[in-house]
Amino acid sequence: MDRREFFKFGLGGTVLATGGGLASTPDKTSSARNGSFQGHPWWVSKLEQSQLAVDDKVYSRFNAQNNVFGSFIKYYGREKVVELNRRSQKKTMEYYREQQPGYRLEDRALADAAWVLSRTGGLNRGLRSWNRKFIRTPQERGIEKYQGIPQQASRLIKATARYFGAATVGITILDRRHIYTQERGKKIVFEKVEEPYANEEKLVIPDKCKYAIALSIQMSLDNIQCSPTAISSAGSSMGYSRAEFLVGGVAEFIRGLGYTAIPSVNDLGSSVAIGVDAGLGELGRTNRLITPEFGPNVRLAKVLTDLPLATDKPVDFGLLEFCKTCKRCAEECPSECLSFKDEPDFEVRGPWNNPGHQAWFEDAPKCLAYWRESTSGCSICIAVCPWSKKDKTMIHEMVKASSAKMPFLDGFFTSMDKAFGYGRQKRADRWWKLNLPEYGIDTTQGKG
């Protein structure tokens, strides 16, 4: 009996034994693939607020200078960081000489080339400019700006975002506490102005930008499963380049309707926090967003706007209970930076964590150190997560639905995920022989 037959009969029997509620539910895999544009899969519940608590007396805007990159030298000390970089360079040259698969010239050239669009942008620069680029405004067209009701406007935004490459889309009222206090040496402030602007001291967001559009960008799992090699790094960097195009396109569309739009990827504020509020997914053990459709195999971005929109709600698809049981990401993490705690809590690990919210906090500098040690970054926690499946067959959707509705099966599903070899590293040299579709994302049904 192969894994497909096992789940078909084993899980089917379990579902029938519990009343047949899931077995009688029609297959909604097409809805799952369409993501938030058509609505999440049927087994995803909407909530009034996230399941993880926030201490309103503590939670506040975060200083981006304290992120993992800013805290790295403080954590390890300058001498150790210099030595780590030296070892990384030495290992890189050894890999070149040995023609190590996944670390060869062609592998690293692919990873670097995939950054091509992302590296042309940046905070308030390139496609992430806070002001209009090319599109004609309604005033220039001689007409009034868009006057649709919020529900219609949200439909337009979600259709546009999907067209520009979003995997899923969610909309929320902006919680300003998710916006950083400063970045790139400039303060980020809100002012009563018509258009965003920047000077030598500050970046100004108009008070009227009350909405946040949260966006996910699916990465190529065939790349990510080659982690930690340059082939995997290419999957990540391609995600960032596609995010650049996505937020730039959505922002220009909104400006074309006559409204303000501020595009952002990792800059400006927490895409994870905004994504949770907008219902893209839940916060997992990695302290990152996990989506019901693609697990953690996504990059996140957002667009702030004053266009009146109908908002979405946070979701529950059983992830919190699943992460309490699973712990695969923590077990497989080579840097041992992820938490093994049974429950999320408020105890931060360092200044790179924003206090005041409940989470499984991580030792992020250890993760970054391993990135450099590996010479090519790392996405192992994404690859091994049981929610990262490109296989959209009814069997895997049934497993996800069962996890969402019957959490007592979570341990069983985690054991089966290991037994069938999901998350195992794939050979990087074989990637070049795959006949993958656009952007390397295989959405066809079949073995994941």
Is the Cα torsion angle 48, 276, 397, 381 positive or negative in sign? negative
29 pLDDT higher than 90:
no
Lowest mean pLDDT among 112-126, 255-269, 380-394: 380-394
Task: Give how far the C-alpha of residue 296 lies from the chain's centroid of Cα atoms, to the nearest Å.
Answer: 6
Once rounded to an integer, what is the mean pLDDT over residues 361-368? 97
SS3 assignment, position 42: coil
Lowest mean pLDDT among 114-123, 180-189, 384-393: 384-393
Sequential DSSP letters for 292-359: TTTBT-EEEEEEEE-S--PPP--EESSHHHHHHHH-HHHHH-TT--S---SS-BS--SSTTS-SSB-B
- pLDDT interval class at 1 (50, 70, 90): very low
| Per-residue model confidence as pLDDT tens digits over 79-98 | 999 999 999 999 999 999 99
* Cis ω before 228 (30° cut-off from 0): yes
| Per-residue model confidence as pLDDT tens digits over 393-427 | 555 677 777 777 887 777 777 777 777 677 788 99
Bridge partners of 283, per DSSP, are 289
| Model pLDDT, residue 447 | 39
Backbone angles phi, psi at 217, to 5 degrees: -125, 115
| Per-residue model confidence as pLDDT tens digits over 34-87 | 444 557 888 999 999 999 999 999 999 999 999 999 999 999 999 999 999 999
pTM value > 0.85:
yes
Lowest mean pLDDT among 9-23, 144-158, 200-214, 344-358: 9-23
Please check whether residue 300 is in contact with residue 270, taking contact to mean a CB–CB distance below 8 angstroms: no
